[in-house]
Structure 1
């Protein structure tokens, strides 16, 4: 099914890797299937399930382990790895950073190349990430409600066909709107992290220590404001205006 990627040299490969199954979720024969030297962004998923180290910088340590695994599998030589991200498609952690790197590293002259393929081994979290990206700035706003969400189950092989994703072309104006939203969210995110830290110290419940973040869409509300009102609502408003006022 993926052999046609050999003919698409400029296609971006978004490789989803299960951080709880290294090196099992890194298929070393992938270059022979899709071709060599393709641009690639590696996504280390399910990072929220990994136990943090006692020292600071444990995410940096996990990222180094991921890169070492990719190097041992030959991916560093066979692909053009643009970026590696640590995310949790389930809790939303790191997804916004992943989208930002896709915009910055795979766009040319204010347009985003549409040939992007989300690949990975079974149960790596591809369907969950696909559904998360549907609610993000990477997806066209008008197509959010038209695209069917992928099936997410613990059973392997539920999504066996290609799913289309409507990619938004980021203009400088849209990127600026997104940047402002992310700056606002960062301030709220720091407050939420502080509250969760205090709750964790008080209760000892590990759910407050889980890596999590929100995924937003910078243009959904703006698109709804620009939509013309329904004809029925116009008639209803006019009928209410024409009604005589009672003294």
Structure 2
């Protein structure tokens, strides 16, 4: 039996070997399911943790909406939906940076940490978009700028102010912070690899070219949903004595 997908009122065939299209489908549904889970669980938490869980829901909801668009774009044109992907990232990545600030507020985190993390993330994404879409002839330079901003984020959460605040907070907050740090260091590493595979520069001699939308899609789901589940677990453990109002 042939499977069809409707796009703008037209039925188009999805091939069984279309792994990119398949992961766009799975990604969109997984993100939406995660958003519903986070939103519906808000009432069980102590008030001070609800914002963190709400932001996790917003991250996955925004990603789900963009994945529906990216899925349709891929099926219509057979091209990587770079534009929609960067719109997704420029909204969700700063929100992921916000999560660090929210969980560290109990240890005295100041808004300067928040704005610094958001600034680094925006620079990382804008530079990446310029190098990949607007000025591909200068992709190596813009990739360097984007990479530098990424490593500033890594430094901040592993060795900088955020790391010190996590140590001061201790307990479950420090554990959650450390797990989120690994998401940034390992999970986010797929994005500069994808950037180098999709552009040309000094790295082209050893970095193969190719479409890595499958890896992007899987990486997005793991990073965004996993990020939210870490926050959710922290909120659960920190709200064990909280009695929801009926």
TM-score (norm: length of structure 2): 0.25
Q: Which has a greater percent of helix?
A: 2
Q: Which has the larger radius of gyration?
A: 1
TM-score (norm: length of structure 1): 0.25
Q: Which has a greater percent of strand?
A: 1
